[in-house]
């Protein structure tokens, strides 16, 4: 089975500006990949190429084996843009119905009801978009992206307008989608969110992939922390194999040991290191 | 076909909610009301006017007034066509309304065709209703009826459809405001071309007449309007006929079947350019 999204040697130039400088990336079936990078790193351009809104200068992007932008590729994906707007006069139900027709979905009223329930908007079914808060509109945007049960979901900053509860709803939703076999490329600035839900992380900088792997692979050892009756002691140069010896020495020295854990870098630390402190 | 109907319906509902139709209906009723008043007074006075030799005052007044009504109809139809299409691509993309639709498996060309057909489905009946209303008012008040009943109305509608196609093409490259201004300026250029033709006829200047003809065919809504003006007095001859050929807001000029075929080809050409431009556009 082809990858949900396969990108190779992708280059995009806007005149003299190079937005992407040869990106290789793959999102496998049922995989949730987080896309990180400072503003202007090329994340949105990459997502837009994947869904056919932007044409690459060179390179190739395929969605479920079909060239990005082709009818087959667009039929296989759902997309939520970073900046999006729906007609204010449309109700949530009307909007989803419109997208059902365009996506060729035969889910009917049941699909619309299920999607609105999935994003916690079942009570707002008849409410016009203009009467919804930004957070509600963002959740409606996610529901819209899920119309027609896409195999690949491209989410560009889907939680930027959400409060903590809304973010948690989206997180739960992403986990549920993963269980259903949907592949997701999640572009977000919220590192904690990506760390919590993503199988793999790709960090872009200046249009190039500077780091990629699972959160565990990216994390670097930062030593060992041992909790004793004298407080917490940190051994920055120690590794997993050193823990028994360190505990034995402490016990031998008359101290009580309550716990020990390996210290690793957080995704935030990995990210800052990868982008060299660049913000835009 | 389902996608075309869905998008066309979406465009129409959006226009409805944006109150475009309310404004247009208000303007149309005001226009018809004023036109009725004008026709009533004009024909009342015509009965008391002694016309020059060779001029049939009733035919002259009826055709001249109805020619003006046709210009008003064309103008209002053009306003409607422009407002329905001026932001179809770049305008909607800048407002982030277009992207969620374009990523659906309907195709960009389908989207353009649907928006064009949606605009045409509104503009054509609108122009025809206004045209026949004007004709009815003229006929009932002045007992004057055009030589051809349906053809001029269809040509006016065709002219408005051409403007809708041009506006759609402009929307691929220009922002809404720039596109609106550009299309109104093109419409104005057509009007000027018609007036140049008038002046050319009065001065008997073949150069001016030729230039006006070229301009009218380059933007064929003007040529269709001229042909429509010609059709309403097709059988009128003599001095009355000559004076009426000068027409209000552009001279009457026969276009014939060649013009109609060119108008259809023009719409297809403009549509193809719009589709090619849209296909290459990053959103």
What ipTM, to 2 d.p.? 0.78
Inspect the interface and report whether the beta carbons of B96 and A89 lie closer than 8 Å: no
**CB-based contact A55:A45 (threshold 8 Å):** no
Decide which of A162 and B94 is more confident. Answer: B94
Q: Encode burial over B184-219: b for 16+ CB neighbours within 10 A, e otherwise.
A: bebbeebbebbbbbbebbeeeeeebbeebbebbbeb
Task: Check residue B151 and give its pLDDT.
Answer: 92
Q: Are residues A162 and A256 in the same domain?
A: no
The answer to whether A79 contacts B100, with C-beta atoms less than 8 Å apart, is: yes
pTM for the model? 0.82
Minimum-distance CB partner of A52 among B17, B101, B103:
B103
Chain A positions touching chain B (beta carbons under 8 Å): 48, 51-55, 71-72, 74-75, 77, 79, 81, 83-87, 89, 98-99, 101-104, 141, 144
Can you give the pLDDT at residue A192? 79
Higher pLDDT, A118 or B237: A118
Q: CATH number for the domain including A78?
A: 3.40.50.300
- pLDDT recorded at residue B106: 87
A229 and A208 within one domain: no
- Nearest chain A Cα to B18, which residue? A89
- Looking at the structure, tell me whether residues A145 and A251 fall in a common domain: no
Residue A274 located in a structural domain:
no
From the list B223, B225, B230, B231, the residue with the least C-alpha distance to B262 is B223
Looking at the structure, tell me whether residues A139 and A18 fall in a common domain. Answer: yes
Distance (Å, whole) CA A105 – CA B39: 55
CA neighbours within 13 Å on the CB side: how many for A66? Answer: 15
How far does the CA of residue A102 sit from the closest CA of chain B (Å)? Answer: 6
What's the domain count of chain B?
1
Q: B225, B156 in Cβ contact below 8 A?
A: yes
Give mean pLDDT, residues A185-190: 87
Cβ contact (<8 Å) for A87 and B97? yes
Residues A28 and A74 in one domain: yes
A277 or B32: whose pLDDT is higher? B32
Name residues whose C-beta falls within 8 Å of residue A106's C-beta, 6 or more positions apart in sequence: none
* Structural domain for B173, as ranges: 2-279
Of B17, B103, B105, the CB nearest to A104: B105
User: Chain B residues with CB inside 8 Å of A55's CB?
Assistant: 280, 282
Q: Show the domain range for A53.
A: 5-214
Contacts of A74 in chain B (CB under 8 A): 103-105
Structural contact between residues A36 and A203, judged by C-beta atoms closer than 8 angstroms: yes
Nearest chain B alpha carbon to A52: B103
Residue of B nearest to A75 (CA): B105
B-chain residue closest to A57, CA distance: B282
Between the CA of residue B218 and those of A216, B210, B215, B274, what are the distances in Å? 66, 12, 5, 17
pLDDT of A280 above 60: no
Shortest CA gap A1–chain B (Å) = 22
Based on the fold, state whether residues A228 and A185 are members of the same structural domain: no
DSSP B57-85: HHHHHHHHHHHHHHHHHHHHHHHHHHHHH
Q: Are residues A194 and A255 both part of a single domain?
A: no
Rounded to 5°, the CA angle A102-B282-A161 comes to: 70
Instruction: Indicate whether A272 belongs to any domain.
Output: no
Q: What tokens does B259 get?
A: 């013009």
Give the integer Cα–Cα distance in Å for B146 and B252. Answer: 14
pLDDT string in tens for chain B (283-residue length): 778 888 888 888 877 777 777 888 888 999 999 999 999 998 888 877 777 777 778 888 888 899 989 999 999 999 999 999 999 999 989 988 899 899 999 889 999 999 999 999 999 999 999 999 999 999 999 888 998 999 999 999 999 999 999 999 999 999 999 999 999 999 998 888 888 887 887 788 888 888 888 888 888 998 899 889 888 887 777 767 766 666 665 566 777 888 899 999 999 999 999 999 999 999 8
Check residue A68 and give its pLDDT: 92
- H-run or E-run covering A208: strand A208-213
pLDDT score for A62: 94
Residues A210 and A254 in one domain: no
Same domain? A232 vs A154: no
Query: Beta partners for A245?
Result: none
Segment A45-65 shows an average pLDDT of 93
* A275 part of a folded domain: no
Convert the pLDDT of each residue in A9-35 to its tens digit: 999 999 889 999 999 999 998 899 999
- Pairwise CA distance, residues A106 & B180, whole Å: 39
Contact between chains at A102 and B280 (C-beta distance less than 8 A): no
Q: Is the pLDDT of residue A218 over 90?
A: no
Check B6 against A144: CB less than 8 A apart: no
Give dist(CA B203, CA B193) in Å, integer. 15
A108 occurs within a structural domain: yes
Number of folded domains that form chain A: 2
For residue range A229-273, what is the model confidence (pLDDT) as tens digits? Answer: 888 989 988 888 899 999 999 999 899 999 998 888 878 888 888
The confidence score (pLDDT) of residue B249 equals 56
Residue in A55, A84, A103 closest to B105 by CB? A103
Q: Are residues A196 and A255 in the same domain?
A: no
Selecting from A51, A102, A141 the residue whose C-beta is nearest the C-beta of B101 gives: A102
Shortest CB distance from B105 goes to which of A75, A83, A85?
A75
Of residues B6, B96, B97, nearest to A102 (C-beta):
B6
From chain B, which residues contact A within 8 Å (Cβ)? 2-3, 6-7, 10, 13-14, 17, 95-97, 99-107, 280, 282-283
Indicate if A147 and A241 belong to the same structural domain: no
Distance from the Cα of B84 to chain A's closest Cα (Å) equals 15
Instruction: Write out chain A residues lying below 8 Å of B3, CB-based.
Output: 101-102
pLDDT given for residue B153 in this prediction = 96
Tally A–B CB contacts below 8 A.
Answer: 62
Q: Nearest CA to CA, how far is B6 from chain A (Å)?
A: 7
Please judge whether A89 and B282 are an interchain contact, meaning their C-beta atoms are less than 8 angstroms apart.
Answer: no
Domain identity same for A130 and A232:
no
Nearest neighbour of A54 by CB, restricted to B13, B17, B282: B282
């Amino acid at each position: 089975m082809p990858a949900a999204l396969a990108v190779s040697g992708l280059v995009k130039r806007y005149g003299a500006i190079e937005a992407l400088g040869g990106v290789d990336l793959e999102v496998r079936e049922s995989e949730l990949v987080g896309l990180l990078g400072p503003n202007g790193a090329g994340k949105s351009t990459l997502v837009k190429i994947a869904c056919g809104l932007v044409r690459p200068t060179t390179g190739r992007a395929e969605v479920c084996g079909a060239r990005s932008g082709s009818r087959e590729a667009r039929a296989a994906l759902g997309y939520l843009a970073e900046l999006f707007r729906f007609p204010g006069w449309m109700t949530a139900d009307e909007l989803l119905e419109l997208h059902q027709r365009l996506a060729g979905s035969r889910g009917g009223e049941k699909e619309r009801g299920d999607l609105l329930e999935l994003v916690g908007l079942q009570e707002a079914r008849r409410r016009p978009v203009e009467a919804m808060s930004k957070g509600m509109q963002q959740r409606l945007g996610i529901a819209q992206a899920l119309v027609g049960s896409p195999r690949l979901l491209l989410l560009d900053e889907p939680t930027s307008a959400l409060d903590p509860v809304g973010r948690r709803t989206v997180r739960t939703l992403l986990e549920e989608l993963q269980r259903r076999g949907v592949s997701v490329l999640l572009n977000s600035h919220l590192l904690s969110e990506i760390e919590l839900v993503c199988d793999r992380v790709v960090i872009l900088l200046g249009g190039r992939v500077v780091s990629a792997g699972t959160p565990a692979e990216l994390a670097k050892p930062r030593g060992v922390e041992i909790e004793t009756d004298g407080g917490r002691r940190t051994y920055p140069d120690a590794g997993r194999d050193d823990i028994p010896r360190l505990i034995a020495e402490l016990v031998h020295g008359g101290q009580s040991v309550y716990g020990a854990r390996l210290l690793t870098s957080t995704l935030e630390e990995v990210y800052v290191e990868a982008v060299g402190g660049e913000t835009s | 076909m389902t996608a075309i109907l869905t998008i066309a319906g979406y465009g129409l509902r959006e226009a409805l909610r944006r109150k475009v139709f309310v404004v247009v209906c208000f303007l149309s009723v005001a226009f018809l009301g004023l036109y009725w008043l004008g026709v009533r007074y004009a024909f009342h006075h015509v009965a008391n006017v002694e016309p020059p030799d060779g001029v049939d005052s009733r035919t002259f007044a009826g055709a001249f007034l109805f020619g003006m009504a046709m210009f008003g109809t064309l103008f209002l139809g053009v306003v409607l066509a422009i407002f329905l299409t001026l932001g179809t691509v770049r305008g909607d993309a800048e407002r982030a309304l277009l992207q969620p639709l374009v990523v659906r498996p309907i195709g960009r060309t389908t989207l353009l065709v649907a928006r064009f057909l949606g605009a045409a489905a509104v503009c054509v009946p609108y122009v025809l209703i206004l045209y026949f209303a004007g004709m009815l008012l003229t006929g009932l008040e002045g007992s004057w009826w055009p030589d051809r009943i349906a053809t001029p109305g269809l040509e006016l509608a065709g002219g408005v459809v051409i403007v809708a196609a041009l506006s759609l093409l402009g929307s691929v490259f220009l922002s809404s405001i720039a596109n609106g201004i550009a299309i109104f300026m093109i419409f104005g250029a057509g009007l000027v071309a018609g007036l140049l033709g008038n002046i050319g006829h009065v001065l008997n200047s073949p150069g001016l007449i030729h230039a006006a003809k070229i301009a009218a065919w380059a933007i064929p809504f003007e040529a269709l309007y001229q042909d429509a003006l010609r059709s309403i007095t097709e059988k009128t001859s003599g001095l009355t006929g000559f004076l009426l050929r000068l027409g209000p807001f552009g001279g009457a000029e026969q276009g014939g079947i060649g013009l109609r075929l060119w108008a259809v080809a023009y719409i297809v050409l403009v549509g193809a350019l719009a589709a090619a431009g849209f296909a290459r556009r990053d959103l």
